[in-house]
Chains A and B, each alone.
Chain A
Amino acid sequence: MFSLVRSMWLIFLHMFHKRETYQYPEQKAPLPARWRGRIALTRDPDGGERCVGCYLCAAACPVDCISLQSTEDESGRRYPEFFRINFSRCIFCGFCEEACPTYAIQLLPDFEMAEYSRQQLVYEKEDLLINSEGKYPGYNYYKVAGMAIQGKNKGDARNEEPPVDVKSLLP
């Protein structure tokens, strides 16, 4: 009997607490920076596409909703010829972001992706690519990788010695 009265009293007190309900969509909920929402392809500090088309996100995806084709441009940089995410299948698990070796694919704190037609949920590269470095500013994969691209020869990457002179006899 006492416990019943106590519960009613506690609930009655809630009438005077601060409201937790957000008046969405007029009022937006504050999302944490690591919220796993909308997937985007980011760019490196020089404005180049970060994605090198390594297929690791596609392999990591548990619902197989990422497909792409990698190719190489004339400067020697790899990039995806097409990059497609079927958001009607995506479960926003974030495995793709974890798998990405170049910080290209990132999940952003945004969930407003509803569409009237399922077909509209198929995003191509144009829809995914954003003009930002996202959560990892400053990282440039090609400055670390050993592969030479136009404007970055062998030995120019971080922590690299100049290329070996094969004809040298010096120890």
Chain B
Amino acid sequence: MPIINIDNKNYEVKEGKNLLEACLSLGLNLPYFCWHPVLGAVGACRQCAVKVFKDADDTKGRIIMSCMEPVKDQLRMSIDDKDARSFREHVIGWLMINHPHDCAVCDEGGACHLQDMTVMTGHSYRDYHFTKRTYNNQYLGPFLNHEMNRCIQCYRCVRFYKDFAGGKDLDVFAAHNHVYFGRQQDGILENEFSGNLAEICPTGVFTDKTLKQHYTRKWDLTSAASVCQGCGLGCNILAGERYGAVRQITNRFNAAVNGYFLCDRGRYGYEFVNSDQRIKTPMVYHGPAEQSNGIPILDHVHRRMVPGKTIGIGSPRASLESNAVLKELVGADNFYLGVSAADHDLVSLSLRLLRQGPVRAASLQDAAAADVVLILGEDVTNTAPMLALSVRQAVRRMPVAAAQQQVHLAAWQDAAIREAVQDDKGPLFILSVQETKLDEIAQGAWHTAPDNIARIGYAVSHLLNDAIPEVTGMSEQGRDIAATIANTLKTAAHPLIIAGYGGGSEAILKSAANVAWALHDLGIDAMLSFTVPECNSVGLEMLDGHRLESALGRALNNGIDTAIILENDLYRRLNQHSAERFFSNIKNVILLDHLYNATAEKATVILPAGTFAESDGTLVNNEGRAQRFFQVFAPTSAVQESWRWLLQVAAVCGHTTLSSLQHLDDVVKYMATTYPQFDGITTLTPDAHFRLAGQKVPREPHRYSGRTAMLANKNVSEPKPAEDEDTALSFTMEGYRGEPPSSMIPFFWQPGWNSVQAVNKYQVETGGPLHDGNAGKRLIEPNVNGHTPFYTEVPEPYLPLKEHLLLVPCYHIFGSEELSIHTPGIAARMPAPYLLLHSEDAKRFQVTEGHLLHFMDNGHHYTLPVIINDTLQQGVAGIPVGLPGMQIAEVPQLIKV
């Protein structure tokens, strides 16, 4: 390892880094703007100047930009040098010439990298007394606010948006001293990762627009480590609360999961927590519980729980703890998984494939490091958005490696490497039902029916391993595609195969597993990534329970008196007719949920459950990684965690096992001992008795304001602050001020580093893992025993039938998820219901774009406007899933038009 000398002190640093990274990794303070750990260095801002010396005798030295200089053994440099310091101060002074007098009304203030760096360099008085340049702003949609006056021309926004996230509608315009970062004209930023601009921008040009609706400074937020509820990937987030409402979601760095970024659904989909549809009080027959005969609410529940005739319905959006407690309360025989038949089949299959096969599940960062990617039947951008961002990085892997060989530069030399790479893309193959956003970067993208996708998957695996039978009756084109994919996969070192719930087909999952397993048998380190629909889909499947249809069957046979439904809207799991029949055949519905929905209308007793912001719990993501999320704030209403309600019900019923459980740690310990598959979840975070220097970890920064005034309008005597008995976090600003364990970091802050860039100080090295490792624990490991359980039953090809259409699911990042659509900005970007048809099919049914097509499914009539899309195969029709008002639960299915 090279040794460099900084200010007459020797330090051992890592080879291949630049001097800025080396200094920051050593914990030294050096200001910067344009450099970013994942975007690399371009030397645009001139802020990270240091002095380097030829040798020990050189006293003059020369000023260089540390981000552009690689680490060299025996290099002598100085951060503290007078000239270097004055250079940096002047650079900030020049940046400030045009920076407006805006901090008081700027949303970035208090979490602003420009403020931090200005203080760090010591620039305090303005020397320039002439006019300031101004810009007009643009409307950029419901997620981001644009204030171009504040720009310091670091180019981070376009480098992230265009180069990293593949966006096309943000660019830099004009020239010299008036460059402009924006769109060609006002309009919504199209990219699904646009929200990251608010964190990438070192100042307040791009700020979070949903935060602006209820603006709070970073220092006033009560925050906690949480896990995103938007999809099955389990990205780590920080949620901040003020005055009883969640105000902002920011990224929580996890080097194994989401890294530095989040998708817009995850970042902005939090507003359901503040929704006026929230259930805040226990209700009996839709009236407040206090007014129903003076009977305590728990007795209302107990009275309805007839032994042997009470079932529990779990939920993939509830925590593992809540589901496990419900299962114990009603008994394993009476526990049903509250997921649709299709979701259950696909998720349980992917879990089986990951457990029984020899190939590991890829984390998001593993996926970004893959060299060849094959996507089978999945529109990743819409079903697991952050995985799409990883795929975009993966396709750069091979060209960047080749360019590095050619120009002999480190990967962080961003501009030079990009110049060398040009438009080269690594191998990415996509087989999907219709065009996807990733098609533009794919080496090959083909669109066909789900069964045909699976057939090509089988054909590829046959070419890799003879144990899989040959696919008969394949077209010439199909064989060519299979051969191209197989030949490329054979050359890969870390290929990634992606499939999942988006294709809606078990055959696709099996073929994806076949391909990965065949590669594994060839000695290639293949990875699998199966997307899952919801944040705890995998956790619920691991817990195991009966299918929801069997609950329906039992209800029709009068086998159910009472159903306890956990955080679930059954109208999204069953089609409307089945759901109606289910509810009309049971006497009592006890619902624990946080939003008033169609199921709540059928409920006899409603218990107000906490959302992720009011609960502690554990979620398992698509990779099998169990992650803990912490309660953000203590609600003032009767809202509490579902598992706590259920424990209280159990205590009233006198349940033997559950009566002894009280706190989160008890439930976690109970799960770890009862279910071997959850072994190890007790180690996810330190338990409630954990203390640092005898103190808890505070959720509020030391600068938190207004403690003696915020409730003074109700009562001038301040109430005792809420106590957290479940975790080692406190709800106040008192506690240990140093760095907490990585799994429970409530906010990133270090002296002098108020912005999100403070995360550097929590990492082993810049961009590396957090100090005591990445949070979370993988519960699923591959089964490598020399035997690979290949699937051999190849599906029949899909041939269009006369008068019939095969409905396939179309997922939407904005709209298909149940909770995020309560954010007005996301609801505004939701598509209207539609039916996607090939133009030939449209001709066949004599409709054109915009016409209404009518069909029947399960006795339910649907009339949907037609959208023509020729990337579909003939005979296949796309239908959006999960949008409010779309009641089709079973896709893919054949319908008669």
Q: Interface residues, chain A, CB within 8 Å of chain B? A: 52-56, 58-59, 61, 63-72, 78, 84-86, 88-89, 101-102, 118-119, 121-122, 124, 141, 144-148, 154-155, 157, 159-164, 166-169, 171
Contacts and interface: CB of A to CB of B under 8 A. Distances in A.
6 contacts: A52-B105, A84-B710, A88-B712, A124-B713, A161-B134, A166-B174
Question: What is the interface of chain B mostly: helix, strand, loop, or mixed?
Answer: loop
Contact of A67 (B103, B174, B705): B705
A145 B716 contact: no
A161 B212 contact: no
Question: What is the interface of chain A mostly: helix, strand, loop, or mixed?
Answer: loop
Nearest to A153: B136
A88 B710 CA distance: 13
Contacts of B716: 86, 88, 118-119, 121-122
B708 A65 contact: yes
A168 B177 CA distance: 12
Contacts of A118: 716-717
Given A146-B102, A154-B149, A85 B131 contact: no
Contacts of A163: 134-136
Contacts of A70: 215
B709 A65 contact: yes
Given A70-B215, A154-B136, A164 B101 contact: no
Contact of A84 (B216, B713, B715): B713
Given A54-B109, A69-B243, A146 B709 contact: no
B103 A101 contact: yes
Contacts of B220: 55, 58-59
B130 to A, nearest CB: 7
B147 interface: yes
B703 interface: yes
A63 B109 CA distance: 22
B219 to A, nearest CB: 6
Nearest 7 A-B pairs (CB), nearest first?
Answer: A146-B100, A67-B706, A58-B705, A54-B104, A67-B709, A146-B149, A164-B178
B217 interface: yes
Pick from B130, B212, B703, B708 the residue with the most CB of A within 10 Å. B708
Given A154-B136, A163-B136, A64 B101 contact: no
Contacts of B104: 52, 54, 56, 101-102, 141, 145
Contact of B131 (A67, A161, A166, A169): A161
Contact of A164 (B103, B135, B147): B135
B707 interface: yes
B581 interface: no
B709 A59 contact: no
A39 B520 CA distance: 73
Contacts of A65: 706, 708-709, 712
A123 to B, nearest CB: 9
Interface in B213-243: 214-217, 219-220, 243
Given A54-B103, A67-B709, A166-B180, 20 more contacts: A52-B104, A55-B110, A55-B217, A59-B703, A59-B705, A61-B705, A66-B709, A67-B710, A69-B214, A119-B715, A121-B716, A122-B713, A145-B102, A146-B101, A146-B132, A154-B135, A154-B137, A161-B131, A164-B180, A166-B173
B437 interface: no
B469 to A, nearest CB: 61
B133 interface: yes
B105 A145 contact: yes
B125 to A, nearest CB: 16
Contact of B137 (A71, A84, A145, A148): A148
Contacts of A162: 134
A63 to B, nearest CB: 6
Contacts of A171: 176
A160 B102 CA distance: 13
Interface string B450-461: 000000000000
B708 A161 contact: no
Contact of B712 (A72, A84, A141, A157): A84
B100 A63 contact: no
B822 interface: no
Given A86-B716, A88-B716, A122-B716, A159 B131 contact: yes
Nearest to A104: B104
Pick from B214, B704, B709 the residue with the most CB of A within 10 Å. B709
A122 B712 contact: yes
A39 B2 CA distance: 60
B150 interface: yes
B222 to A, nearest CB: 13
B781 to A, nearest CB: 48
Given A54-B109, A145-B105, A166-B173, A159 B132 contact: yes
Contacts of B133: 161, 164
Interface in B651-701: none
A86 B109 CA distance: 25
A147 B704 CA distance: 27
B712 A64 contact: no
A101 B100 CA distance: 13
Nearest to B136: A163
A133 to B, nearest CB: 18
A102 B102 CA distance: 11
Given A54-B109, A146-B150, A85 B709 contact: yes
A171 B105 CA distance: 32
A71 B712 CA distance: 21
A72 B215 CA distance: 9
Contact of A66 (B149, B173, B706, B713): B706
Contacts of B703: 59
Pick from B137, B704, B713 the residue with the most CB of A within 10 Å. B713
A162 B133 CA distance: 7
A101 B105 CA distance: 10
Nearest to B711: A67
Contacts of A58: 220, 705-706
Contacts of B135: 154, 163-164, 166
A146 B134 contact: yes
Contacts of A78: 105
A64 B706 contact: yes
A144 B101 contact: yes
Contacts of A167: 173-174
Contact of B134 (A56, A89, A164, A166): A164
Contacts of B176: 171
B174 A89 contact: no
A168 B706 contact: no
Interface string B78-104: 000000000000000000000011111
A71 B105 contact: no
Given A147-B105, A166-B173, A64 B149 contact: no
Contacts of B215: 53, 69-71
A142 to B, nearest CB: 9
A59 B702 CA distance: 10
Nearest to B106: A147
B395 to A, nearest CB: 32
A155 to B, nearest CB: 5
Contacts of A144: 101
Pick from A56, A86, A118, A146 the residue with the most CB of B within 10 Å. A146
A154 B217 CA distance: 25
Nearest to B184: A166
A84 B149 contact: no
